[in-house]
A and B are shown apart, each in its own frame.
Chain A
Amino acid sequence: MSEKSLNLNLRVWRQKNADAPGKFVTYKLDNISPDSSFLEMLDLLNEQLIDSGEEPVAFDHDCREGICGSCSLTINGIPHGKGRMMTTCQLHMRSFENGETITIEPFRAQPFPVIRDLVVNREPFDKIMQAGGFIDQRIGSAQDANALPISKETADKAMDAAACIGCGACVAACPNASAMLFTGAKMSQLNLLPQGQPERYKRAINMVDAMDANGFGNCTNIGECEAACPKGISLDFIAMMNRDYAVAKVKRFFSGAA
């Protein structure tokens, strides 16, 4: 419970639609409780804009507790802002100063075009998933769950990878707009588990190809993605993906397929 309230200057990216040019517009917003979340602060900005007959700032959000991956926003140049291991919706205003100017932009990455204001199109992530981010298991035909023991270590590691919320901050943080952290996380989750073995190498090739086809750049080991990731997804999963992809290529070479 904090008492003092904040007066802020907000530099917000405004863009009417995908084709229109965008620009920063500065708004003054006063009396913000330090206990409100960043998105609640934007709600209040929107209420103020609506009151004065202006169009509110569009942004994506839903769960508002850091799990759905809807919220995006680049805050003062950092995807999801300066909070470590946190999404924008988990960021609270107490980590800002009274009188501060805050710059709010959409996630910037070529594969994620702006739809309006702070809303971007992240469907290329879905495309990568559709290419191989699954285990081909017919619904209703599974064996008893405990018939396949999996060591706690493996299960935990798979869970570490599975924690990705698909927000896209990794892509926005990467100078090459690479989707390696996102793709590596999903691929590793499935490739670590015994259930994922039959399609392991096919999955590696299909997902990496989809990544390239959807305009994501290469990884040059800068590590910005890991720093921006709200779920602490480790670069190790990129290394694992690279290994699986290399093995898959070799296997394909020896099996004679082009």
Chain B
Amino acid sequence: MNLDPKIPDGPLEKKWTTAKANYKLVNPANRRKYSVIVVGSGLAGGGAAAALGEQGYNVKCFCFQDSPRRAHSIAAQGGINAAKNYQNDGDSVYRLFYDTIKGGDYRSREGNVYRLAEVSTSIIDQCVAQGVPFAREYGGMLDNRSFGGAQVSRTFYARGQTGQQLLLGVYQSLSRQIGLGQVKMYNRHEMLDVVLVNGVAKGIITRNMVNGKIERWAADAVVIASGGYSTVFFLSTNAAGTNVSAAWRAHKRGAGFANPCFTQIHPTCIPQEGEHQSKLTLMSESLRNDGRVWAPKKKEDCGKNPKDIPEEDRDYFLERKYPSFGNLAPRDISSRAAKEVCDEGRGVGPVVAGERRGVYLDFRDAIQRLGRKTIEARYGNLFDMYENITGENAYERPMRIYPAPHYTMGGLWVDYNLMTSITGLFAAGEANFSDHGANRLGASALMQGLADGFFVLPYTLGNYLGSIPPGEAGKIDINDPAFADAENAVKESVGKLVSIKGKTSPRSLHTALGKIMWNKVGMARSKESLTSAIDEIRALRERFWNDVLIPGGGDELNIELERAGRVADHLEFAELLCFDALDRNESCGGHFRVEHQTEDGEAVRHDDQYANVSVWEFTGVGNKPKKHVEPLNFENIKLAVRSYK
């Protein structure tokens, strides 16, 4: 596997300029001869499709929802970072770069992250020009807020709907290109395989989700921008349809998968109420600015009304353990602390699967200090949302929160040009591994999605297409045996799924997988838990292929078939995630191995062995994957221990 990161030489701040200066170009008159397939219509995919269409390439864009406007990017609430320094508070491209590397616990590439920080400013310019209604100050200038892990105010936002407004901006650009015929949009189409002709990505196979038709599509290059894989845990903050399939199928065709064990658990989500639950809802982290996190000291108090628990019987555990950061300790640390308390049997809320999973986030003191009006003004919509979901009034009774899987830093390995280890196959947005290391900072995923789609791929993909002579462009034949083979493989697996006709629904198998992953591969991992998780996943996978029940057939709209295909991929991918977690003998960012902690439970990194990227090669289902390593070179930043005490 060729893992040359292709980072341009020269000083950090010159790398991107140098790269752009050296990239090949395609003559504008020739561009219409070239075609590109983009899988995904989120910030990354939709952005890339719109930008490439605008440049004059022939673009085909695919998504599984009924409209590109519904990609999961729509759900982001908080905001998007950019090093604009509009607040004049000392921000700079370098500082955003530094915060991102540090926040990622020193497991990302300097070159990529610097470029991300560098293009962040153009993102805001672009979005405003497109009509994204960011929040403004009375003087008419853009407003900013601060977000976790930073000492400056660099987060731009549009009420609590930043992701929605950014995605609609992308969708508008995309719509324009669709109207002009530059982009052809295929809604309700699910990509089920990548096609390689002589080892080079030249197309995909899709299933039309309305009539079940399996189709071949050819192009000069393929981009995967299919989002993250948090749904491997079943319950997560992600949209129900989020899945690993596109990335996983690319991996099975030879694309390296990097750092799958780097997953992020968000501390402030509404806890699970019961077994019926299908997803967990994120509550903005900003709540921790005024709320105090606590749990009862005594187990016997856990079922009581919190009002009846006197002050001296409450354990404000974040304030106790991290006196200087207190309730504002970073995501990974706060999440783990809450889980420990619940594991000790001191959790609150309903008993789900024999355990109370929740801790209090209490606004009593803030309401006393600032008045209810102020709290209402700051968090009114969040309190309403909480009441709508739980039926409880958080002004009167402390909120209950619990951590939930939220974001995945790992993904398809890509070089500086966002090309995977398969020539001609690119990956962008949450689907790639590139910028967040072992932990992502708040408001940085939207930034990365738009950076990849609007500002990086239009250059790097042009460079790749520039290496294909115009005479050969668009000459891929979908009758090539490679297309027939891939199509047959897809048809076979669809046929197999619908013919098993066992007894167990895909959803209950997904739930079972989620339980294994959450209990053994979630917030705290050990050699023992991971080894037994692998055994359990294998057994569950066998059960799936013997006993799954999908009513109906393959040639119709079949929601259980769609679900089953995704669960089948998760069942293979989950094993890789465990192998990676088992192999990484250190704790860093979102990856916490209980064997590697200090006496008081803090993560211990091993930079001597693991300041690198683990890239996995597929060797067949059920076989141990093969590991490759890309070393990380830190030329500008000194590795240090993160401390929040």
Residues of A within 8 A of B (CB): 1-2, 16-17, 32-37, 39-41, 43-44, 46-47, 49-51, 53-56, 58-65, 67-70, 86, 90, 92, 94, 115-116, 119, 121-123, 125-126, 129-131, 133-140, 142-146, 148-152, 155-156, 158-159, 162-163, 165-166, 189-190, 193, 195-196
- Judging by beta carbons under 8 Å apart, are A134 and B161 in contact? no
Q: Can you give 20 contacting A-B residue pairs, CB < 8 Å? A: A1-B390, A50-B549, A50-B551, A58-B559, A61-B240, A62-B239, A65-B281, A67-B74, A69-B69, A70-B65, A126-B69, A140-B122, A140-B126, A144-B125, A145-B124, A145-B125, A146-B141, A150-B140, A158-B133, A159-B135
CB distance from B79 to the nearest CB of A (A): 14
B277 contacts partner chain A, Cβ-Cβ < 8 Å: yes
- A16 and B281 alpha carbons, distance in the complex (Å): 33
- Judging by beta carbons under 8 Å apart, are A158 and B66 in contact? no
Give every chain B residue within 8 A of A138 (Cβ-Cβ): 54
CB distance from B152 to the nearest CB of A (A): 16
Question: From A125, which residue of chain B is reached at the shortest CB distance?
Answer: B67
- A189 and B132 alpha carbons, distance in the complex (Å): 9
- A181 and B370 alpha carbons, distance in the complex (Å): 40
- Judging by beta carbons under 8 Å apart, are A130 and B86 in contact? no
Residues of B within 8 A of A (CB): 47, 50-51, 54, 65-70, 72, 74-75, 84, 86, 122, 124-131, 133-142, 158-159, 161, 163-165, 168, 171-173, 175-176, 178-179, 185, 187, 210, 239-241, 273-274, 276-279, 281, 349-350, 388-392, 454-455, 458, 505, 507-508, 549, 551-552, 556-557, 559-560
Q: A67-B161, A68-B75, A139-B454 are in contact. Are A1 and B66 (CB under 8 A)?
A: no
Question: From A83, which residue of chain B is reached at the shortest CB distance?
Answer: B388
- A202 and B146 alpha carbons, distance in the complex (Å): 39
- A129 and B187 alpha carbons, distance in the complex (Å): 15
- A44 and B276 alpha carbons, distance in the complex (Å): 7
- Judging by beta carbons under 8 Å apart, are B65 and A116 in contact? no
- Judging by beta carbons under 8 Å apart, are B67 and A148 in contact? no
A122: contacting residue among B67, B168, B388, B557, CB under 8 A: B67
CB distance from B129 to the nearest CB of A (A): 4
Give every chain B residue within 8 A of A116 (Cβ-Cβ): 556-557
- Judging by beta carbons under 8 Å apart, are B276 and A195 in contact? no
Question: From B172, which residue of chain A is reached at the shortest CB distance?
Answer: A134
- A181 and B201 alpha carbons, distance in the complex (Å): 44
- A250 and B133 alpha carbons, distance in the complex (Å): 29
- Judging by beta carbons under 8 Å apart, are B131 and A63 in contact? no
- Judging by beta carbons under 8 Å apart, are A33 and B273 in contact? yes
CB distance from A54 to the nearest CB of B (A): 6
Give every chain B residue within 8 A of A37 (Cβ-Cβ): 278, 389
- A135 and B51 alpha carbons, distance in the complex (Å): 14
- Judging by beta carbons under 8 Å apart, are A40 and B277 in contact? yes
CB distance from B548 to the nearest CB of A (A): 10
